[in-house]
Amino acid sequence: MKIFLDTNILLDLLLDRKNSYEASIILNSIDLGLFEGYISNITLVNVDYIAEKQKKEDEIKEFLILLLETMEICTPDTNLIYKALNLENKDFEDNIQYLLAKKCRCDCLITNDKNFKFDDVEIMDSKSFIDKYLK
């Protein structure tokens, strides 16, 4: 099963936020080969930018290397960016991540963003994903 992780899942883990335990389980399941993990290339940049205010540079770099070693990186092309700009949803980053999940044929997109709503890809929060696929 292919799963696409929204940026907030990775930030939950790196910054030890509310859903860090669930994020850890999901990343471990990818590392163990239970799922194929996908992220956007912009996720790497966003994780670095957001975490730099709260974490040491070495910790962030280690985390990014871990992501590169365990995840498939999806990259938008010009056409996908145009599509993202034209979706009704106003969150441009969410639109790109959703379209990349579709482009990479992911079965599920995991996010803890409550405003992430699209119909043709299964969208789940981290706890719901664990309850459905890892119990």
| Buried b / exposed e along 39-51 (16+ C-beta atoms within 10 A) | bbebbbebbbebb
Q: Read off the tokens for 24.
A: 């850890």
Mean pLDDT, each 10-residue run in order, the chain (135 residues): 96 93 96 96 94 86 94 96 92 93 96 82 94 92
**Single pTM value for the model:** 0.93
Cα 6 versus chain centre, distance: 2
As for how many domains the chain has, the answer is 1
Report the C-alpha gap between 124 and 55 in whole angstroms.
27
pLDDT of res. 135: 81
Other C-beta atoms lying within 10 Å of the C-beta of residue 92: 12
pLDDT of res. 115: 77
Q: Which residue range is the domain that position 70 belongs to?
A: 2-133
Whichever domain contains 6, its CATH number is 3.40.50.1010
